[in-house]
Chains A and B, each alone.
Chain A
Amino acid sequence: MINSHDILETIRMIDSENLDVRTITMGISLFDCADEDAARACGKIYDKICRCAGNLVKTGEDISKEYGIPIIHKRISVTPIAMIAAASRGKNPVCFAKALDRAAKSTGVNFIGGYSALVHKGFGPGDRALIDSIPQALSETELVCSSVNVGTTKAGINMDAVEKMGRVVLDVAKATAADNCIGAAKLVVFCNAPEDNPFMAGAFHGPGEADCAVNVGVSGPGVVRAALAKAGDCRMDEVANIVKKTAFKVTRMGQLVAREASRRLHVPFGIVDLSLAPTPAVGDSVAHILEEMGLESCGAHGTTAALALLNDAVKKGGIMASSHVGGLSGAFIPVTEDAGMIDAARCGSLSLTKLEAMTSVCSVGLDMIPVPGDTPPEILSAILADEAAIGMVNSKTTAVRLIPAIGKQAGDELNFGGLLGGGPVMEVNRWSPLKLIRRGGRIPAPIQSLKN
């Protein structure tokens, strides 16, 4: 029989340490839905999504019950809509967002990602129209998430897109100001966007992906923190070891769920994303792991080093547990979604500049950070540019999800509630980058892109 200690450990991880499978995300290609007539294309999109993902939610719930593992989200990602909408006549692609929203509601998923454009080297047909429509699309739909990739290590950074996205982020916040600017929480600006990421808001189904695939995102910050707490005083080598072992177990669970979901849905298994994704729930915080390592508060000097160890050890532990690893894989540091980050931001130990440093060693970027609503668009663009540069030079993904809190100042609170959480508005550096941002053009790809 299985060792009873192991059984009880698993039960404890689920019951008191918030172990869960964060998301089963079905990626669906929409290339075969492109049509000259936008209404016809939207009809095909709706039908295909409902056909592929009709059983997704029920299958997720069945697996959850049978294996006793909470599966929090069931979601869908689709081909970047700019690529599909480009084939249709007419300038406003918002009808595509509405078709996605309807399909999401019919299938019962809680988010659908892919109202996206990949413009890292330039704007293709359909890209500008899609980007311009993002504020309207996010304010007139509920479940649609949007993302724009503005740079890659291979292509450099499209500064025209960066300039545009600063304005778009602000416009999205304004368009949803009555609803806590929630639209901005559904918009991600990427550098090196992964094509198989199961996590929202940045999920889309890349053009190189299969027709349909199941990707699973695991989580478990609470489990890692509990394991470190149990170990007590030990050297950093041992800390890394504990994180690796824990990540291995968590990922094996994700792999099992992914395999089972793939079998039941008759859809190929794509990847497992090994991520520590926090929630505002007590005991589900990445910041608390860093504090468990020995920091008085997240954001203190030493945070970047602790996060570097954590991010690396999660990957090392997880990689052997899954046959295919992808997505973002690492530690997430969304401010409003992490109880420890929220506290650290409130007490002043965590600043935007420290967060920027942390993004150079974690799996994503500046995530879920409320900034003052009067922040000029060129400052938002400059923040995007800085993050994209960190991603480009370090050959890693960086994603920015800033929430300009309309009508609020630094220190005020913005609350979304639920898994998106809430937190204090953080001040930005007000010195102007206007001239830099107005230059436009492209930042050339760095020398490390020339690997051939």
Chain B
Amino acid sequence: MRAVITVIGKDMVGILARVSKICAENEVNVLEVTQSILQDLFAMIMLVDISNCKVPFSDLSDQLTEVGSGMNLVIHVMHEDIFNSMHRI
């Protein structure tokens, strides 16, 4: 199962490192990373494989949200199907 992690907020040192660290700790494999600056906001999108994730999806989501709020970032973790179904026919 694959999921999309999005990180939106003010750019700062260590965003990628911290998010990747949580992924690594939970056996979540990062497949792709893209990042862009949207107006003055930093937006990072990671496609990850959560098939071997050690914790339930909701726990992973909670961990990332917690890291995000500490850095003033909004982090979403969403099943990739939501994007496939909304944007592809």
* A residues at B contact (CB < 8 Å): 1-4, 6-11, 14-15, 62, 65-69, 249, 252-253, 255-256
Contacts and interface: CB of A to CB of B under 8 A. Distances in A.
B43 interface: yes
19 contacts: A1-B31, A1-B45, A2-B83, A6-B83, A6-B87, A7-B83, A8-B6, A8-B43, A10-B82, A10-B83, A11-B6, A14-B76, A66-B57, A66-B79, A67-B81, A68-B82, A249-B86, A255-B85, A256-B81
A414 B44 CA distance: 46
A205 to B, nearest CB: 27
Contacts, number: 71
B61 interface: yes
A14 B86 CA distance: 13
B17 interface: no
B67 interface: no
Interface in B21-58: 31-32, 34, 36, 38, 43, 45, 47, 57-58
A68 B87 contact: no
A328 B80 CA distance: 30
B5 to A, nearest CB: 10
A4 B34 contact: yes
Contact of B77 (A4, A62, A68): A68
B45 A256 contact: no
Given A7-B4, A62-B58, A65-B58, A1 B34 contact: yes
Interface of B: 4, 6, 8, 31-32, 34, 36, 38, 43, 45, 47, 57-58, 61, 74, 76-87
A305 to B, nearest CB: 30
A65 B82 contact: no
A3 B87 contact: yes
Nearest to B33: A1
Contacts of A4: 34, 36, 43, 45
A10 B36 CA distance: 16
A65 B6 CA distance: 14
A66 B82 CA distance: 10
A201 to B, nearest CB: 30
A10 B8 contact: no
A15 B9 CA distance: 13
Given A15-B74, A69-B82, A253-B82, A2 B4 contact: yes
Interface centre among A15, A67, A255 (most CB of B within 10 A): A67
B85 A256 contact: yes
A2 B87 contact: yes
| The 7 residue pairs across chains A and B that have the minimum distance between CB atoms | A68-B78, A6-B87, A256-B85, A65-B58, A252-B85, A2-B83, A249-B86
B56 to A, nearest CB: 9
Contacts of A8: 6, 8, 38, 43, 45
Contacts of B45: 1, 4, 7-8
B79 A1 contact: no
Contact of B84 (A2, A9, A66): A2
Contact of A67 (B32, B36, B74, B79): B79
Given A2-B4, A62-B58, A10 B86 contact: yes
A11 B38 contact: no
B78 A67 contact: yes
Given A3-B87, A11-B76, A68-B76, A256 B82 contact: yes
B87 A249 contact: yes
A66 B60 CA distance: 10
Contacts of A67: 78-79, 81-82
